[in-house]
Structure formats: structure tokens, C-alpha cells
Chains A and B, each alone.
Chain A
Amino acid sequence: MSNAPKISAGERVRYKPQIYMPQMSIFWWVKDRAYVFFIIRELTSLVVAAYVILMMIQINALSQGPEAWQALTDWFATPFSIGLHIVFLILLIFHTLTWFWVAPTAMVVRIGSKKVPGSILIAGNIAMWLIISLAIGWLIVSI
């Protein structure tokens, strides 16, 4: 794209209309912060998949007997594995929170004729999530 010449005066030129269709760049998602956030949100969903695979590996190890289970738990204790889990956990929490943030767009809750503001919905969701997580944690610890 350059500074092209001005339309010249004189005879008008007949032509066939030519609609210009701009091509979408593969880097479209870097041009706006919101798009970057969206892409990160989508990519962190891979971590959810990673946890599912991990669980399948655990079940598989359990079914193979105590040695296999021991080998797996030993691997879990390595610094690499612990580091990986911390990173995954952070990404997973981020992913979860992004969904809480967008929740008000899908939920319209009314009390009387007044709409409940989005921030309260988000806070409510997060509170519920914490309570359930704590309950599960308490269950695991107390068993």
C-alpha cells in the first residue's frame, strides 16, 4: 500500500465493480489485547485435557498393580513433576477464572425487576467454587 495517484480529471472510465476482499492475517489475534486474552483462554483448555490424560494414566497404573503405582508416585515426587504440576495448576486456575468472568454474559438473574449485577454473579460463582473445593479437600484429608 502506497500513496497512489489522485483520480485524474477528464473522461470518466467505465468499469466493472470490483469489491476488494481483505485477507485475514494469521496473526490477527495479536492486534488486540482482548484477542490475546481469548487465545490464552482457549490454549489453557489444553491443560484441562492434560489432567484428564493424567487421570487415565493413574487408573492404568492402579490396574497394573502396586509396582506400577509406586513407580508413578515416585515420578510424581520428582522436582520436574512438581514444577510441572504447579505450572499446570496456575494455568488451570486461570482457565477456570476466565469462565467465571464471562459467566454473567450467559446468565441473567433477576430479583424482582432488578437485574443482578455481573460482579455479584462472578463473586457468587467464585465463592461456590471455593466452598466446593474446600469441602472436597476436607473429605480427602479426613479419609
Chain B
Amino acid sequence: MARYGPKEHDVLIVGGGAAGLRASIAITENHPELSVAVISKVYPMRSHTVSAEGGAAAVIKDDDSLDDHAYDTISGADWLCDQDAVEAFVKEAPEELLQLEHWGCPWNREEDGNIAVRSFGGMKIKRTWFAADKTGFHLLHTLFQTSMKYDPIQRYDEFFVTRLVVEDGRCQGVIAIELATGKLEFIAARSVILCTGGCGKIFPFTTNANIKSGDGMALAYRAGVPLKDMEFVQYHPTGLPFTGILITEAARAEGGFLLNKEGYRYLQDYDLGEPKPYPVLRSMELGPRDRLSQAFEKEKEKGRTIEGPYGDYVHLDLKHLGERKIDEKIPFVRELCRKYENLDPAKEMIPVRPVVHYVMGGVHTDINGATPIEGLYSAGEAACVSINGANRLGSNSLTECLVFGARAGKAAAEYAAGKKKFSDGLEKIVSDEGKRIERMFFSEHGDQSESIAGIRKEMHQAMEDGAGIYRTEDSLKSSEKTIKELQERLHRISIQDHSYTFNTELTSAFELSYMLDVAEAIIRSALQRTESRGSHQRKDYPERDDEQFLSHSLAYQTGDGTPRVEYQPVTITRWPPGERKYGQ
């Protein structure tokens, strides 16, 4: 039986955000005998979970019910989610958030000391737990600090994974670069969980952090796992124009207005209800994210948005909330506006535009986070279970990380506990991988050389133009062509930085290659879905087509730049497809 020394684990988690850390704790609590490790390209507390602002949804109040949460999620998803997964999700959600409370998460409270909840876009009832408007930050730090308590959880901080090791039909570990030394290493594991987050960085304007380049999605895709529902990309209606910094939905939940050039609450023109001076659930500014972003595009076409140096924008008006409420409920919004826009939302209106926020799609998994490859699991934004369907409900994503992080952790641990033997000679893959990296990124191309930044910029443009809020066959085809060309040109990158120490030019090149792979899956899936549903809006096919497309797309890599897309029917349990109605 092959042994791989100290760098051999039962379960290896790739990514140290909410899903990854939750998985690691679930494993060590349920299977203390297993060796578990978290490998991450950044220190865990730098993970993008940290940027989540608004909150995490789970039913705890008496006026709420699991069915209500499920219905809001399913209708928000435009019926493209698997209802068995949603039912499991809403059922386990309260316990997960409670667990976080027991670990010390500073949830906001009511006067009597009970957990407070706030309203959120697309929800009938207030059910979003929040820690001011830094919920993701508090959640991640609570998880990270709690994980320190468990000595068995080993960490590989600042290790960059370059490929999965799949041998004999099983995932048996990863190959990774230790950034500080540049050393390429094989880390063996009986099961691997990908918790690497989304891929918002494929787009130019995004709330996503620099690290969100779809690494795990591309790793799985290259290993033969299909990417599910990749055509569904969520735009958040309120990002700051230049930086893409998120102004949380909570700002609207507390009563913020969206105003066009004329100071008019334009959402009333888009089937989102009547304007009221106070926030109304599932109405106007509290409509779902896809509808709000689409309304912005329509306003832009009508010439009713405001032109700015970083694209058109509208105004988010919080002035009427007053300084005190802003400081109490959404202090981070004020801090961000002051620090990055140089304005005070208590006195001035905030310029906002839709920015890419979340990808509903991801690594194809079942309800336990298992992918079609034995020993490979995924959870969090990287995965697609799916509960988010065609449009994720705001404040479901943090909860999703916890519920499915824990589930994937338990499933991966159980699989690993079977102690299957490792295949022989896996360490040889390291030297092959080393040669591949040298050839791929360090060869000389003279004046044929391409730059990372150049290719990245063209990819951004292609995605924004062809696969944005509204899509057509022509726009998608032209983007597909561009992405293919860019994939060719990627082979002519020659990295200037020849140091082995913390080579971020090399990791940027890898990230770019991951993003291009994921981009091809997004575009191809979008091309083949000839209907409009949720966040996927085709101008040439404006209607939802349940007959043909009440099913998940599964994009398989083929190697020639055009993925093969297959379909799998959506699981319906109790909520047959209906019309999405808001503003009533």
C-alpha cells in the first residue's frame, strides 16, 4: 500500500472560507480519528466570505415556516432548483445558524436578548439573521477562530492548487505550489472537498474579491466533472460603479430608494409593485436581484440612467433614514461610501449600478456534496447542489455554505473512513506537473508573447458584451469565439518573474487559465438555453420554456473549447412551477 508521508490526509478541503471551515469542523467533530487538512491560496480569514454583508437566512420566528422559506427560495430560483435539496436546506438552516451562535457569532439581538431578523429581497417574511452589515466577516472569523480550537485540523495556508489527482477513477489528492517557497507538492487525500468559491472575476464589474477566479470549478471541470447551470450569473443591483464594492441589500431592506436620473422610483414601471414610503417585502426595492438588475438595463435603454466615467448608474437614496438608523443598522455602508466614494450616505445619494455578484452554477454535486467522481466533493459557491436555480435568494448563500459545508464534510469523512488504499506512484505526477508548468507559462515566445493583463481585459470585455444581463445568440457566439482565441493566446504567455518565491505572476496566469475554462462553460450553457429564466435573459427567447428547459445544464469539457452540454431534469417535490409574482 502506497504511503505518502506527512502530507497524507483522510480528507483534504480546498478553500478556507465558510464552506471549507464548516466542513473541517464537521469532520473533526464527527470523526476525530480522521486526519483533516484545509489547503487555501490565502489565509482562511482572507477568504471572500469575509465580504458578505447582509445576512444569513433561516427560520426561527413563530410567524415563519420552513415551507415559506422553501417557497421564497424556489420561486426566487424561477423553479430551477432541486426541491429535495431546498427542503433539506431550509430544515437544517436554523440549526446551523444556532451552532454559529454557540460558537460566539455576534448576531444582532432584539431588546430582550433574542436573535433579531431583518427583511431581505425576495422574501415574504423577515428571516435574515445578521451581524450588523458585516455578517460574512463575523461568520468567517467565528468559524476560523473556532477552527483553531481543534488541533487535528491541519492547515496549508498560501498553497495554490494546480490540479486534482484523479487515478483509478478516484480523487486521491491535489498538486499544489507552496507560495512562500515555490515548491510543488503532492498532497494525498482519500477524499477532497472543493470549497473554492465562485468566479465573479471573469467579469469586469464585480463585487467579488480578486481571489474569486473559479479555481475549484475549473479543477473539477478539467478532471471530468460537469459544471452545472453555469449560465446563471447573478448581478447585484447595487454596486459602486468604479470599484464594484457591494452596497448591501440591507440598505434597501432598511428603506432605501432606487431613483433614476429624474429622481423617480423607476421600479414601479417593472411589475414590482407600488411605491410606498416604507419598505414592503417582495416589492419595489425589495424585489429579487435579477428583476432589479434587469430593470436597470431597461432604464438605461430609455436613457433614464446617469452617465458616469465608469458606466451608467442610478442613485440609491438613504438620506431619509437618518444618521442614527444608518449607523445602527448599516454602518459598513456608511464606512464604505466615505472611504471609497468620498460621500456620506446620510447627506448624499449613492451612485450604484448592477455588478456581478454570484454564480448560481458550479461543480455538479448531489445533495451530499458528492460529485460524479468518487472521493471528490464540493460545497459553497463553488458547488451547484442546486438550491439557487436561476437566481439565488439574497442571504441564502452564507447559510448554504454552512448547511452544505457540513453535509459535504460528513459525506467526505464517511467515504474516507473506508480507508481505501492509495494508488501507487502518484508522486510521479508532481514532476510531470512541474514540466507542464514550465512549458505552459515559462517558454519564450519572443515578440509573439502575450500578457496576462491583456488577455484578462479582453476576457472581461467579451463577458460583459456577450454574456451580461441580456444575451442574444449573436452576442454569445461572438464571445465564445473570443474566449477560444484567448485560450489559444494563453499558451503564448511568458512569465517575467522567474523567482520561486511567492510568484504571484504565476498564480495570476493559473487563475486566468481557470477563468477562461469556466467562461467557456458559461457561454456555451447560455447559448444552448434558448429561453429566459431568472438571471438568464435571452432577448431572442424572452419567455420561460418549462417544456424544454425545466432542467439543469451540465457542461462537460471536451478539450476543443466547446463544451458538451447535457441536461438533467429538475427535482420537483411539492411546488409545481408557477409564475414569479412580486409587488403584491
Residues of chain A at the chain B interface (Cβ within 8 Å): 7-15, 17
Chain B at the A interface: SS class = loop
> Chain B residue with minimal CB distance to A6?
B496
Q: Is there an interface contact between B500 and A9, defined as CB atoms closer than 8 Å?
A: no
Min CB distance B136 to A, Å, is 26
Min CB distance B252 to A, Å, is 27
Given known pairs A17-B180, A17-B181, the reply for A10 and B501 (CB within 8 Å) is no
Q: Is there an interface contact between A9 and B180, defined as CB atoms closer than 8 Å?
A: no
Contacting A9 at CB < 8 Å: which of B181, B438, B498, B501? Answer: B498
Residues of chain B at the chain A interface (Cβ within 8 Å): 180-181, 438, 442, 444, 494, 496-501
Q: Is there an interface contact between B444 and A9, defined as CB atoms closer than 8 Å?
A: yes
In the assembled complex, the Cα of A7 lies from the Cα of B494 at a distance in Å of: 14
Query: Which residues of the partner chain A approach B494 to less than 8 Å between Cβ atoms?
Result: 9
Q: Is there an interface contact between A7 and B498, defined as CB atoms closer than 8 Å?
A: yes
Min CB distance B201 to A, Å, is 26
Query: Which residues of the partner chain A approach B442 to less than 8 Å between Cβ atoms?
Result: 12
Given known pairs A17-B180, A17-B181, the reply for A12 and B444 (CB within 8 Å) is no
14 pairs, A vs B, C-beta closer than 8 Å = A7-B496, A7-B497, A7-B498, A9-B496, A11-B498, A12-B438, A12-B442, A13-B500, A14-B500, A15-B500, A15-B501, A17-B180, A17-B181, A17-B501
> Chain B residue with minimal CB distance to A19?
B180
> Chain A residue with minimal CB distance to B502?
A17
Given known pairs A17-B180, A17-B181, the reply for A12 and B496 (CB within 8 Å) is no
In the assembled complex, the Cα of A34 lies from the Cα of B250 at a distance in Å of: 40
Min CB distance A67 to B, Å, is 70
Q: Is there an interface contact between A10 and B498, defined as CB atoms closer than 8 Å?
A: yes
In the assembled complex, the Cα of A17 lies from the Cα of B499 at a distance in Å of: 11
Q: Is there an interface contact between A8 and B498, defined as CB atoms closer than 8 Å?
A: yes
Query: Which residues of the partner chain B approach A8 to less than 8 Å between Cβ atoms?
Result: 498
In the assembled complex, the Cα of A36 lies from the Cα of B267 at a distance in Å of: 58
Min CB distance A19 to B, Å, is 8
In the assembled complex, the Cα of A13 lies from the Cα of B503 at a distance in Å of: 13
Query: Which residues of the partner chain B approach A13 to less than 8 Å between Cβ atoms?
Result: 498, 500
> Chain A residue with minimal CB distance to B501?
A17
In the assembled complex, the Cα of A140 lies from the Cα of B167 at a distance in Å of: 92
> Chain B residue with minimal CB distance to A7?
B498
Min CB distance B502 to A, Å, is 9
4 extra interchain contacts, Cβ-Cβ under 8 A, other than A7-B499, A8-B498, A9-B496?
A9-B444, A9-B494, A13-B498, A17-B181
Query: Which residues of the partner chain B approach A11 to less than 8 Å between Cβ atoms?
Result: 498
Q: Which of A7, A12, A14, A15 has the most CB of B within 10 A?
A: A12
In the assembled complex, the Cα of A8 lies from the Cα of B444 at a distance in Å of: 13
